[in-house]
Chain A
């Protein structure tokens, strides 16, 4: 298996623009997680899905953030409108047995 795939790997955008981050989990995994990593706050869980259903989105910072999982092989994290404080590395991870497998991350820079 190719592991968790994230795209794009790098995204630079201007404040106010919409940003969409994409994730393809490992085939067969039934949990999918979105994390954000910053120097100030470390690794934060934003939201997670089980069998494509959002279970806990209490970590989503505000209404500008939304996440979807239309099927078992694809998820998106959308920020609209983006702000400079959203600059971070966003990780997607998937799991079946409790071991999280992380993707390589998307480095987002909002200018």
Chain B
């Protein structure tokens, strides 16, 4: 079965600095990979996804992620963080069954300092 590890529970970044959130997955074949963001009291919103093709995917709000098969990773990046990016970020993986059975990581809470 597929699984996801987000090793960082909390990350604090200064506003304007770059951001990288780590995600490692476990799955025997090429996975479907997703990043979601959850603001306090809100549901999850899809930032970006990787199904196949170009390993660097662009998402909404200026985020991007790179799929690295050799490292089983799908790290999320943003070149310049805004205070409004403070939220919880979830990486998710789906296996051969497709998106129907997403497995989510435990999340990384991003704090943005002035």
Of chain B, the residue at the smallest CB distance from A104 is B43
Between-chain CB contacts (< 8 Å), 5 pairs: A45-B101, A93-B43, A98-B51, A100-B36, A103-B43
A76 sits at the interface (CB 8 A): no
The answer to whether A100 touches B42, judged by C-beta atoms less than 8 angstroms apart, is no
Q: Find chain A residues with CB under 8 A from B105 CB.
A: 42
Interface residues of B (CB under 8 A from A): 32, 36, 41-46, 49, 51, 90, 98-102, 104-107
Q: A91–B107 Cα gap in the complex (Å)? A: 16
Q: Find chain A residues with CB under 8 A from B99 CB.
A: 95, 98-100
Choose from B46, B106, B107 the contact partner of A100 (Cβ within 8 Å).
B46
Interface residues of A (CB under 8 A from B): 4, 31, 33, 42-43, 45, 48, 50, 55-56, 91, 93, 95, 98-105
Q: A42–B104 Cα gap in the complex (Å)? A: 8
- Give the dominant DSSP class at B's interface: mixed
In the A-B complex, list the 5 residue pairs whose CB atoms are closest, starting with the nearest: A102-B43, A98-B99, A43-B104, A102-B44, A42-B106
Instruction: Report the minimal beta-carbon distance from A13 to chain B, rounded to whole angstroms.
Output: 20
Choose from A31, A48, A91 the contact partner of B44 (Cβ within 8 Å).
A91
Interface centre among B46, B90, B98, B105 (most CB of A within 10 A): B46
Given contacts A42-B107, A43-B90, contact A56 B43 (CB under 8 A): no
Instruction: Report the minimal beta-carbon distance from B5 to chain A, rounded to whole angstroms.
Output: 12
The answer to whether A99 touches B104, judged by C-beta atoms less than 8 angstroms apart, is no
The answer to whether B49 touches A99, judged by C-beta atoms less than 8 angstroms apart, is yes
The answer to whether B106 touches A99, judged by C-beta atoms less than 8 angstroms apart, is no
The answer to whether A56 touches B49, judged by C-beta atoms less than 8 angstroms apart, is no
The answer to whether B100 touches A48, judged by C-beta atoms less than 8 angstroms apart, is yes
